[in-house]
Amino acid sequence: MLTKLREKIKPVMDTIAAGSAKLIPSPTGWTFIGFLLSILAAYLYSSHFAIPAGASVLLSGFMDMLDGAVARKVGKVTARGGFLDSNLDRAGEAAIYLGLILSNDIIALYAATAMALSLLVSYARSRAEASGLKAEGVGYGERAERLIILAVASFVGFLNYGIILIIILAGITFVQRLYVYGSKL
């Protein structure tokens, strides 16, 4: 759902990327900052600081948009950079769920299920793209939506409900991707 919004805010991100590229011209630098913010969020969740963890989750998601915008701005869009970004995004998201599990503030089985489904959603897209399909924008629970739900649930104090919503949306998205991509192969 947010994939369509990305196109609308692209001019704004391009402007931010121009300034950010002057500060750190390496898109990989921004990728690592986003990953470190995910690790920080995991630590904050495990330490029972849900609100700052939610803010860190949002910032890591913003860095995920920014690294690509910086790459386009400085002409450094590469397969290697995309590969690193995609893998660190998955590792960061898994770390966040592990931090939630360690916190004991939520039902661990919920977080483990959300993590598994989130990784399956990403894997389905990766396999579709490896098969030559354009795979962006399929499903209601892509990574951006999941991170926003988690952050909002953190801010309002309803983490278990947020995780349940992530499970539902990620499950639906995984089935959508199986159907959409499978029918095109």
pLDDT at 9 over 90: no
- Number of structural domains, the chain? 1
Q: pLDDT tens digits for 12-57?
A: 999 999 999 999 999 999 999 999 999 999 999 999 999 999 999 9
- What pLDDT was estimated at residue 182? 93
Give the mean pLDDT of the chain.
Answer: 94
- Comparison of pLDDT for 95 and 137, the residue scoring more: 95
- What pLDDT was estimated at residue 5? 76
The Cα 171–Cα 141 span in angstroms is: 8
Q: Out of 34-38, 112-116, 130-134, which region has the weakest mean confidence (pLDDT)?
A: 130-134
- What pLDDT was estimated at residue 1? 60
pLDDT at 119 over 90: yes
CATH number at residue 67: 1.20.120.1760
Long-range pairs of 176-184 with CB within 8 A, sequence gap ≥ 24 = 176/138, 176/139, 176/140, 177/121, 177/124, 177/125, 177/128, 177/135, 177/138, 177/139, 178/124, 180/138, 181/124, 181/127, 181/128, 181/131, 181/133, 181/135, 181/138, 184/128, 184/133
Q: Which domain range does residue 97 map to?
A: 2-184
pLDDT at 4 over 80: no
- Comparison of pLDDT for 46 and 138, the residue scoring more: 46
pLDDT average, residue stretch 138-142: 90
The residues carrying an active-site annotation are: 89
Its pTM stands at: 0.93
pLDDT average, residue stretch 141-147: 93
pLDDT average, residue stretch 104-129: 95
- What pLDDT was estimated at residue 2? 66
